Structure 1
Amino acid sequence: MWLDDFRAVYTREKQWTSARLSGVGIICHSGDASVTVPLEADQRHDDAGLDPSAVMDLRLFKSSFSDKNEFSWATPQPFWGFPFHETCWILLAILHKPQEFEAQALHGLFRSLPHVSVGLLSFGHNYGGIMKYLPKPEEHIPGEEYEIYRRYGRRRYYPQDPKRDPMEYSDPLNISSLQEIFQQNLKGQGEFHEKNNADKATMTNDTPLRVSNPTDCFQIFPTEISDCILMFLPSKDVLNVKLASATFAALPLTKTFWASRFQRGFEFHCVFESHGLQTKDYDWESIYFGVRSLQDNYNFKNRRRIWKLLLLVEELHGRLISAELQGTASYSFFEPDAPEDKRSWNLASGVLNEPEIDFSDGCRSLFTRTVDITFKVTGVFVTFARFNGMEYVSGLRFQQHNGVSSSLGYVVLNEEIEMDVDGSLLSKDGCGISGFYLAINSRGVRAISLILSSGKVSKWFGKHDGIPKTRLFLNHGDVISLKAGFDAFKMVALGSLGDDFTPTGLSDLRDHARWLPDLPNESLSLNVSSLPLRTRRPPTKYEPLTMVLYGGLHGAHLSKLTEISVWMGEYMEILGIYFTYSTEVDGHKVHTFGRRWPSGRDERNRVPCDCFGTGDCSLDDCPRDKRVDFPIDGPQGEIINRVDLHNDIDGAFMGFRINTSFNRTATFPQKLVDDYPDEYPLLPVETAKLTTITGFYAILSSSQAMRCLGVISEYIRKDDYRGAIPEARRKAKRTLSMTQTE
């Protein structure tokens, strides 16, 4: 079966730069950690007289490079690599003709991707629909990243599972129906009888002629120009333009147009049988509708699915072989011969996986580069690399006053973007770069913004909405020193000179945590003393802190708050907090912090119950979740003036209590405190003096309880109090008066 034959891009032990393409081997069991495969690309496992010395035992998907044996029960294998179905490799070669793929580039690409399951690398997509996303899209929380997993427990493709789509088993390379279509429509070989006449009528030259419209601007174009316009349009837009314009409605679709549907960028580019054929020799209109009639053919569906995935590989391969890594090489596990840089660095990064551990999520730094910029910077340029439809920062270039450029990473001059295009930021005397704002997900740097010594900030470059953010300040002095980590195509870490994090230091949580939706405003106090130490440390996992300013900046919305609701799970874990307002705030009267109160059935087919977990429910399938609603009289000046937390002995968040300025309290969950008053004591959060509580921050998840809870407060000026939060104003005045008396 076609699914058994495979090739691999492989290397031996720690020969990182010596990757090769293997011959064709065979996989008998999908769970095998090692397989036997010929060493040379022109050999097959079933070649007659194949010399046993010409084959190797190959370790698949190796991602941990510890000196210890990865599997105690297995014999260590010197050869390791990443497999490709032979059929997919043939399709990839056809796609990339006449060039050949470089095994070294592909090996570097695959080393840059997490290994998430047996036989799977995580490209960020769901393999054309045959894998599932976790969490489900309807349960997704902003900033949360999707993981993929198999739809079915059975890993092997056969014996065929009736629950699986037969497309997955179907050979995408040899499709007899396609060959028949081309044979039947070769000029002089007869006519192909279309089945989808209704579809054809909407696209062919039989479109009714419309009355000339003097407002139709396309009337002035020569026919040749109109033909060219149609050839560049996607097929669905061709129909739309024919409906919108009488000129195009009357224009016949030429043989060249129909042939263009099989070119790169159009719907049937995957029909490689059409590549290189002469337009004049075939009835391309009939071929188009003949191929279109194969939409439900399992083999053709699989061809289209795989072709789209291979286009992503080809795009990345093109970047890998065209962009050279720039900067001064620094010692790392994968470059042991580079000189060691012993300076201390502050790094902002994705979720970096060290070489000694299993690479199952996040990113891995394969190369480390540094740059020292000695002259005043007059221009900054950023280069991006595309990966699965997303853009990542791949390199930075700094233009200096003396005309010299210093580059860091994969810089492509004809693709880079200038970050100060009008010269309004860096051209002024004495204005330099003091740092960066960075949008970073688990896989690397998605967007960047300049922080200037004048206090100005540039706009964002790259995708930053919904991406966790942090900031990186540069070292003071005449020389700007930067260090960055890279995988095979993108930046995964960026750092500046500085001291390592110390728990007792004065480092700001803004500088090493990742924040959603944005970094907290400088006017906000984060009151970090109440947080467990592990939350205050630089993150080692993808755990961004999500912030909600329920009171708004400067307390603008405190007077609108009318209710706080808390959703607790079956085991009293905090799942979500909801803030209800008297009027709409940013387009909504209810704002959700954490998981949403479910509107449908859960994973055990249970519906949310109106009992809210009160214990009075008689339903057998009640999920036993509990929602507690606590009214807040914001219009009359009631505010939260104290928050008490209860954490377990390891610092894990268990619950909290809010206290209001009207001497009312609410505890979530109350039962935990009632049953275990000594084990889970409530401890007050120490907020900055003269500040008012206006928000919270936490680590959120769609599949787990809320982890940690931080309190945000802000000093609100007298002018901000007027008419908005009278009680808060009175409280601040009383506090200020007491302070002055003391």
Structure 2
Amino acid sequence: MPVRIASCIVCGAPLIEAGESPRWMTELRTLYTAREQWHHARVSQAGKRHDFKDLIPVDESIDEHASAAWIDESWVQMLIMRDTWEGDLPGRPRRTSIPFWGYAFHSACWDILSAAFPNSSSAGAVQALFDLFRSQHMFLGSMKWGHDYGGLIKHVHKVHVARLSLGEDPTLWMERLTGTAYLSDPLHIPQLELLLAASNLILREDGQEHRVMKLPVNDAFLTLPAEIITEILVELDSADVCSLRLASRVIADAELPDRFWRSRFWSSREFAHVFEVDQSSAASNRHRALYAGCKALKNNEGMTNRKRVWHLACRISELAQLRLESLPCSGTLSRTLTENGAHRDSRQWCKAEGLLSTTSRTLLNSGSRALCEGTVDFTDQVSGIAVFSVCFDGKRYISGIQLLPRGSKPMPLGYCHSPNAMYLRCENLIGFHVALDARGIRGLRLQSASGAMSGWVGDHRDVAKKLLTFPPRGQSSENILQAIKCGFDALKMVSLSVSSGERTKATGSHSRRRDEIDVRTSSLWYPEVPDADMRLVGSRNFDIYSCHVPYTLVLFGGSDGCLLPYLTSVTIWTTNQPFSRWPSPAKHTHLWGIEFQYSNGQASMVLGQPPPAPGPNDHYKPQAHHVTIDSAAGERLTRVEAMYETPNFVSGLRLHTSQARALTIPPSLMSKVAEVPEDELIVKSLDPGEGAIVGMYTSLKHDAFFQFLGIASKIL
């Protein structure tokens, strides 16, 4: 079989070797191109996987001089489900001599997608699909759309999405195909083909009558003409029609014409996946019988798989149509991953991005890929922006912005769909607060030179935030923004950068020492970016920083310390080792969560979470440690010591209070500190300086929860 694992873009089921069973899963179609011809996608004829190779038929678009790819006069080899172009970009040596690469479907799934996406074979539609596919990330040959392919795939190691921490991207794994529904051909269904081909369908009544409740004489539908009643019923789903027939004698007695039964096969209706009915003129005047026949086939395995694949194809169709209708990406083209016409920009930039693939070396198995980057330069002060958005995977993302400078024309950047613009105003724009996740920019608000903030546009609740000003410190008038740059995939904004126009120094933009980097402005934060007057103390974990996992901040004392007099207890949850289904060499504990409780009715606040109860195969033991705080007598936390077994592993805490108490969590760790070698247990002291400790922050990970710990303090 072929070396590379690959699954169908549409249905998620495997693309298997020619000669294996079922046969429909061996027949494939591809959307492909040659080398870096990004804007010349085409559709292949039916291909196959054979003898460790992926093959497509020769057609007139294939260069006869691409000799390395030719197998014989009928077939050429190509690479499918590619996730990196290392060595195949301009100025780099070729990694492979095979020029053709692309994305593969089962032939049956391509036909279903074609039915869901009209004109899918046109040049524009093919290119829209191709751009959409190369914007998505993959894992083990399966494209990650954000869904589970109708239950076909599951999470690696069965880590449920609810157990993931903010900023973690769920990794999907192919579930072993069980039963036969997923294996059934979703296109060629013998029973359905017989039903559609029958010329003299006989409608068999089910013998059931509609039971009508005893109703008042004044039936709301009594005065409506039959034509209006028919129009109402045509627009309703079948379940609603049944309910209405039970509630109204007029509706129950209404004659349902053929047009009503045909509407059962319209888009978004219960039998929309039987698209052959809407395409066939032979079905005229027999839609009621076809409806009854399809209803009888509802539990047929082929029909079950057809319905699953149809819904998946419709989702792709909607996204591709949105791409097709999008205006060209606005802004001056700057350096990108794939555009060889772009120029390199040497200015310093302050950037917000999720899990973004910005180099061809990176395997695109999470986050997003920037297909292009656009830049706008301006000298006039910006008094506001128009923000445009798009819906992807049930979430709202920013697709483009339009700057509104004083004294000059609006300056668009990205995909600016004029009907859905939202406007933000400010006096002298100097930066942004950006809400973002792994796939792109979710929301924006503006920061003016006076420090005032606009309202939010887009999604911002329960999303990580990043502060964008340049340079990170200070807001002097000489540092007013002069340029904005954004990265875009096929549909949405995936990065946002600002610049004051200063050029990158010879030593590079990362020449500052690590301890000089401002954690407030250089990191992602959740739920909000800390205030500028808050002091953040903690050992920076640069592995975490590079992975774009946000810092989660809990202000247990309130942003102004107002809750400190009511803090009565702190509960700290630990396990004897990292949460894992495998034994760990950990000698000490691992911190999972910290809960702060109050006496004034304030809901408790939690940093992290309690560890779940261990299962029969788990090797950890959760413990809860309770610490009382006599806040009524003025007791406050004055210092925290974080204990690390490794740089990414918080093993315990020591809490110091104003009443000269030092509480070690877990208590058993105290007796071991002196015995453990210095390189095995590192103690970091977190001192608030002249301020009071009002919060704690950390970065969270599902299988090793507290990766580090910091404190937030403020002079009250």
Matched, 1:287 2:290: yes
Aligned to 1:262: 265
2:531 equivalent among 503, 521, 528: 521
Matched, 1:79 2:103: no
Matches within 5 A, 1:26-105: 26-28=48-50, 34-40=53-59, 52-67=72-87, 76-98=97-119, 100-101=121-122, 102-105=125-128
Cα-to-partner distance string for 1:256-298 (whole Å, 9 max, x where unaligned) = 2332121112222111121134699334344334323333221
Matched, 1:109 2:97: no
Residue pair 1:209, 1:249 contacting (<8 A) in 2 also = no
CA distance in 2, matches of 1:452, 1:238: 55
Matched, 1:172 2:186: yes
Matched, 1:555 2:561: yes
Matched, 1:20 2:42: yes
Cα-to-partner distance string for 1:637-657 (whole Å, 9 max, x where unaligned) = 433221012235746533321
The amino acid across from 2:657 in the alignment is T
CA distance in 1, matches of 2:384, 2:548: 33
CA distance in 1, matches of 2:131, 2:546: 24
The 1:137/1:361 distance shift into structure 2, 3 A limit, reads closer
The amino acid across from 1:84 in the alignment is F
CA distance in 2, matches of 1:219, 1:635: 71
CA distance in 1, matches of 2:131, 2:138: 14
CA distance in 2, matches of 1:436, 1:562: 37
Give the superposed CA RMSD: 3.3
CA apart distance, 1:497:
0.7
The amino acid across from 1:56 in the alignment is V
Residue pair 2:649, 2:704 contacting (<8 A) in 1 also = no
2:452 equivalent among 430, 449, 456: 456
1:674 equivalent among 655, 671, 682: 671
Aligned to 2:468: 472
The amino acid across from 2:187 in the alignment is L
Aligned to 2:325: 322
Aligned to 1:724: none
2:345 equivalent among 330, 341, 347: 341
Equivalenced residues, count: 647
CA apart distance, 1:219:
7.1
The amino acid across from 2:175 in the alignment is R
CA distance in 1, matches of 2:353, 2:452: 24
CA distance in 2, matches of 1:665, 1:592: 22
CA distance in 2, matches of 1:385, 1:279: 39
Aligned to 2:396: 391
CA distance in 2, matches of 1:54, 1:28: 14
Cα-to-partner distance string for 1:398-422 (whole Å, 9 max, x where unaligned) = 23444622111111223x32224xx
Q: Secondary structure at the match of 2:181?
A: helix
CA distance in 1, matches of 2:422, 2:445: 12
CA apart distance, 1:85:
0.9
CA apart distance, 1:437:
1.4
Matched, 1:531 2:536: no
Cα-to-partner distance string for 1:678-736 (whole Å, 9 max, x where unaligned) = 422433212141x22122111112222311111122233xxxxxxxxxxxxxxxxxxxx
Residue pair 1:8, 1:82 contacting (<8 A) in 2 also = yes
CA apart distance, 1:52:
1.5
1:565 equivalent among 564, 567, 572: 572
CA distance in 1, matches of 2:283, 2:370: 52
Aligned to 1:362: 367
Aligned to 2:355: 351
CA apart distance, 1:21:
1.8
The amino acid across from 1:112 in the alignment is S
Matched, 1:382 2:387: yes
1:193 equivalent among 193, 204, 209: 204
Aligned to 1:512: 522
CA distance in 2, matches of 1:183, 1:211: 46
1:413 equivalent among 414, 418, 424: 418
Cα-to-partner distance string for 1:333-370 (whole Å, 9 max, x where unaligned) = 41223232221211111112221222211122221211
CA apart distance, 1:98:
4.3
CA distance in 1, matches of 2:464, 2:362: 25
Matched, 1:596 2:622: no
CA distance in 2, matches of 1:286, 1:208: 28
Q: Secondary structure at the match of 1:546?
A: strand
The 1:664/1:295 distance shift into structure 2, 3 A limit, reads farther
Residue pair 1:550, 1:579 contacting (<8 A) in 2 also = yes
CA apart distance, 1:394:
1.4
Q: Which stretches of structure 1, 4 residues or more, deviate above 6 A after TM superposition?
A: 218-221, 243-247
Cα-to-partner distance string for 1:472-505 (whole Å, 9 max, x where unaligned) = 1267567631111112222111101157353357
Q: Secondary structure at the match of 1:145?
A: coil
CA distance in 2, matches of 1:564, 1:173: 57
CA distance in 2, matches of 1:532, 1:659: 23
The amino acid across from 1:684 in the alignment is S
Residue pair 1:551, 1:561 contacting (<8 A) in 2 also = no
Q: Secondary structure at the match of 1:288?
A: helix
Residue pair 2:84, 2:363 contacting (<8 A) in 1 also = yes
CA apart distance, 1:445:
0.7
Residue pair 2:332, 2:376 contacting (<8 A) in 1 also = yes
CA apart distance, 1:303:
0.8
Aligned to 1:585: 602
CA distance in 2, matches of 1:10, 1:179: 32
The 1:289/1:17 distance shift into structure 2, 3 A limit, reads same
Q: Secondary structure at the match of 1:682?
A: strand
Residue pair 2:380, 2:408 contacting (<8 A) in 1 also = no
Aligned to 1:231: 234
Q: Secondary structure at the match of 2:356?
A: coil
The 1:405/1:227 distance shift into structure 2, 3 A limit, reads farther
CA distance in 1, matches of 2:229, 2:482: 54
The 1:289/1:525 distance shift into structure 2, 3 A limit, reads farther
Provide the identity percentage: 28
Residue pair 2:213, 2:246 contacting (<8 A) in 1 also = no
Residue pair 2:638, 2:658 contacting (<8 A) in 1 also = yes
Q: Secondary structure at the match of 1:552?
A: coil
Aligned to 1:433: 429
Q: Secondary structure at the match of 1:386?
A: strand
Residue pair 1:349, 1:445 contacting (<8 A) in 2 also = yes
Residue pair 1:131, 1:150 contacting (<8 A) in 2 also = yes
1:274 equivalent among 274, 277, 284: 277
The 1:624/1:180 distance shift into structure 2, 3 A limit, reads same
Residue pair 1:209, 1:246 contacting (<8 A) in 2 also = no
The 1:693/1:237 distance shift into structure 2, 3 A limit, reads farther
Gaps of 5+ in 1: 44-49, 153-160, 607-621, 717-742
Matched, 1:703 2:703: yes
2:591 equivalent among 555, 574, 577: 574
CA apart distance, 1:105:
2.5
CA distance in 2, matches of 1:106, 1:463: 26
Residue pair 2:640, 2:686 contacting (<8 A) in 1 also = yes
* TM-score normalised by L of structure 1: 0.79
CA distance in 1, matches of 2:336, 2:50: 37
Matched, 1:125 2:147: yes
CA distance in 1, matches of 2:262, 2:287: 6
CA apart distance, 1:506:
5.7
